[in-house]
């Protein structure tokens, strides 16, 4: 793909180097012009390496130390990867045992999916403005008893208007306003409407879209999550076992003198 005095760059080398680039940057080098620029950048790097070697920079103690440290890291990573492959994947019994001992981590609290129609009050609003906002909210509540949320929310002021009135799914403690939370969790059946609630933003009416009771998902539901969480635990076990084996075989002894 490229030649220069003292070396060449093959297609395989170019492709390997390109794979190291982020996908968005890699796209820039797909055209003929882009490939030419990429190959020139690779040639430039080779030329600079050769120039550094000619000047003896590669033999400097600090460079040699960094090369040695990088080599050690790569070798250790390869060793641990080999040990992990030899250990194999977690068995079904191991996955289930880990799930059973960590069930509390998967527990889902009671949650409610809410719709809201808000009659906002400007910051520092007057008593008259608050009265008008409350009257609007009372009208929203009345209309919600006979009309769909998607229609009534168009008259409100909150950001939920962009989502057909849906405010979101919340567990206790996730709604910023305690008054809104109390009103939300008092709703028991989908479609039920709350009384008008005074909030920091103004006056709101809530509608319960869905209620999700507290539950713990079964192992089958979260199996892939369990496998993902157990992975680092097993990696640590592999590391600890290998370290213990090597220390024992090497008869390691460490002596630390107390400072005078």
pLDDT at position 218 is 95
Q: How far apart are CA 76 and CA 232, in angstroms?
A: 17
pLDDT tens, residue by residue, 129-171: 999 999 999 999 999 999 999 999 999 998 898 898 999 999 9
| Per-residue pLDDT tens digits for 207-228 | 999 999 999 999 999 999 999 9
Query: CATH classification of 111-212, choosing from 3.30.70.1450, 3.10.50.40, 3.40.50.2300, 3.30.2130.10?
Result: 3.10.50.40
What count of other Cβ atoms lies within 10 Å of the Cβ of residue 36? 13
Asked whether 169 and 113 are in contact (CB, 8 A), the reply is yes
Residue 207 is predicted with a pLDDT of: 97
| Total residues belonging to the chain | 260
Domain positions in the chain are: 1-59, 111-212
Phi, psi of 229 (to 5 degrees): -75, -30
Residue whose C-alpha is closest to residue 232's, from 240, 221, 244: 240
Confidence of residue 260 (pLDDT cuts 50, 70, 90): low
- Nearest 10 degrees: Cα torsion 61, 62, 68, 69: 150
Q: What number of CA atoms fall less than 13 Å from residue 71's CA on the CB side?
A: 6
Model-level pTM greater than 0.85? no
Which residues, in sequence order, are CB contacts of 197 under 8 Å at separation 6+?
A: 179, 180, 183, 203, 204, 205, 206
> Using one digit for the tens of pLDDT, what is the confidence trace for 10-56?
999 998 998 888 888 788 787 888 889 999 999 999 999 999 999 99
Kindly list the distances between the CA atom of residue 50 and the CA atoms of 42, 46, 65, 128, 184, in Å, as whole numbers in the listed order. Answer: 13, 6, 19, 80, 70
**Number of other CB atoms surrounding residue 181 within 10 Å:** 18
Do residues 157 and 118 make contact, with C-beta atoms less than 8 angstroms apart? Answer: yes
Q: In this predicted model, what pLDDT tens digit does every residue of 96-135 receive, in sequence order?
A: 999 999 999 999 999 999 999 999 998 888 999 999 999 9
């Amino acid at each position: 793909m490229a030649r220069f005095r003292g070396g060449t760059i093959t297609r395989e080398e170019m492709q390997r180097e390109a794979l190291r680039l982020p996908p968005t940057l890699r796209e820039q080098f797909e055209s003929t012009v882009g490939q030419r620029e990429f190959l020139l950048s690779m040639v430039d790097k080779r030329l600079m390496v050769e120039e550094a070697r000619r000047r003896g920079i590669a033999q400097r103690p600090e460079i040699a130390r960094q090369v040695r440290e990088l080599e050690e890291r790569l070798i250790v990573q390869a060793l641990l990867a080999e040990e992990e492959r030899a250990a194999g994947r977690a068995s079904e019994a191991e996955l289930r045992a880990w799930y059973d001992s960590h069930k509390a981590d998967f527990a889902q609290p009671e949650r409610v999916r809410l719709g809201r129609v808000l009659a906002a009050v400007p910051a520092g609003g007057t008593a008259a403005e608050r009265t008008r906002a409350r009257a609007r909210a009372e009208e929203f509540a009345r209309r919600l008893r006979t009309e769909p949320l998607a229609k009534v929310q168009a008259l409100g002021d909150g950001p939920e208007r962009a989502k057909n009135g849906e405010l979101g799914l919340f567990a206790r403690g996730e709604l910023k306003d305690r008054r809104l939370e109390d009103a939300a969790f008092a709703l028991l059946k989908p479609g039920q409407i709350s009384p008008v609630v005074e909030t920091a933003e103004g006056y709101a009416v809530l509608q319960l879209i869905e209620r999700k009771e507290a539950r713990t998902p079964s192992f089958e539901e979260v199996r892939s999550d369990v496998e993902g969480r157990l992975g680092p635990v097993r990696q640590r076990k592999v590391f600890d076992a290998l370290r213990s084996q090597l220390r024992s075989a090497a008869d390691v002894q460490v002596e630390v003198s107390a400072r005078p």
